């Protein structure tokens, strides 16, 4: 079941890339496994998934020892500063850096561990009150402040688009973030890479790919409905 769904989503990723004239290898499909049991993650792994997204530190800590070591874990949920210590060094990318304070905490812990932690800045493009992330107009100054941290490396941007019935309604959101991404990229800020644009979920990942996403985060489409309606 999970294997079929995973392959079907992968095929849709490939078609969207083709439509957009992009290489399939430019887009990473992240299997968002939050709330799902390890058995289903194993099925996705067997089907070829190597990138898994979780939104709770506790869940990553419980799951990762039970699964193959070549899995790349992505922290995609809001991260509290007091949990930073547990996640730094364990995940390949933190997508959800939504404050300078959080980045500073990641810097401190990464320095202690003598590593550089790759991060994305989360941008609340649609300015939804229920969501975390920088407003677009505040992102550049935050980025410049965070870029000064030697043990943190900004690799790009992430957004969670609004929940909509029709994915087309989010196209302008993705386009706006892509334009900002290109704009920042062209400024060549020291210690900032701007290679990753994490946007698009089950309902809208194809539109996100057409608008320049390099990582899409798909949960329901691979693992089925979750019992709990997640509060992002």
Ligand X SMILES: *Cc1c(COP(=O)(O)O)cnc(C)c1O
Task: Mark out the alpha helices in the chain (DSSP H runs).
Answer: 2-19, 38-46, 57-63, 84-87, 100-113, 136-147, 171-186, 205-210, 220-223
Closest by CA to 156, choosing from 119, 131, 188, 127, is: 119
The nearer residue to ligand X, 138 or 230, going by C-beta atoms, is 230
Residue nearest to ligand X according to CB distances in the complex: 219
The nearer residue to ligand X, 212 or 219, going by C-beta atoms, is 219
The nearer residue to ligand X, 29 or 106, going by C-beta atoms, is 29
The nearer residue to ligand X, 136 or 149, going by C-beta atoms, is 136
For ligand X, the binding residue among 34, 36, 63, 131 (CB under 6 A) is 34
Largest distance between two CA atoms of the chain: 46
The C-alpha atoms of residue 155 and residue 224 are separated, in whole angstroms, by: 30
Mark 1-30 with x for binding to ligand X (rule: CB under 6 A) and - for no binding. ------------------------------
We find the least distance from the C-beta atom of residue 218 to ligand X, in angstroms, to be 5
Size of the site for ligand X (CB under 6 A): 16
Cα distance between the two ends of the chain? 26
Query: What are the C-alpha distances in Å from 193 to residues 79, 141, 153, 185, 200?
Result: 22, 16, 8, 7, 21
**Among residue numbers 136 through 175, which ones bind ligand X (CB under 6 A)?**
160
The C-alpha atoms of residue 79 and residue 71 are separated, in whole angstroms, by: 21
We find the least distance from the C-beta atom of residue 109 to ligand X, in angstroms, to be 22
**Among residue numbers 168 through 227, which ones bind ligand X (CB under 6 A)?**
201-203, 217-221
- Which residues of the shown chain bind ligand X in the complex (CB under 6 A)? 32, 34, 55, 76-77, 160, 201-203, 217-221, 230, 232
């Amino acid at each position: 079941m999970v294997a079929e769904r995973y392959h079907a989503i992968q095929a849709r990723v490939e078609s969207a890339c083709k439509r957009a004239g992009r290489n399939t290898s430019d887009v990473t499909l992240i299997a968002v496994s939050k709330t799902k049991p390890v058995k289903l993650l194993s099925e996705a792994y067997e089907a070829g998934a190597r990138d898994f997204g979780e939104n709770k530190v506790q869940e990553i800590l419980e799951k990762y020892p039970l699964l193959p070591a070549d899995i790349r874990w992505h922290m995609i949920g809001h991260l509290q500063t007091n949990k930073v210590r547990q996640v730094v060094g364990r995940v390949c990318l933190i997508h959800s850096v939504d404050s300078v304070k959080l980045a500073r905490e990641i810097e401190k812990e990464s320095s202690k561990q003598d590593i550089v932690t790759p991060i994305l800045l989360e941008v609340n493009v649609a300015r939804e009150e229920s969501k975390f992330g920088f407003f677009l107009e505040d992102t550049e100054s935050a980025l410049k402040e965070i870029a000064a941290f030697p043990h943190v490396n900004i690799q790009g941007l992430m957004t969670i688009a609004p929940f909509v019935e029709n994915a087309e309604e989010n196209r302008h959101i993705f386009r706006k973030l892509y334009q900002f991404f290109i704009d920042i990229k062209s400024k060549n800020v020291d210690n900032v890479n701007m290679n990753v644009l994490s946007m698009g979920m089950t309902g809208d990942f194809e539109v996100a790919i057409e608008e320049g996403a390099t990582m899409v985060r798909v949960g329901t489409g691979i693992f089925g409905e979750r019992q709990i309606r997640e509060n992002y």
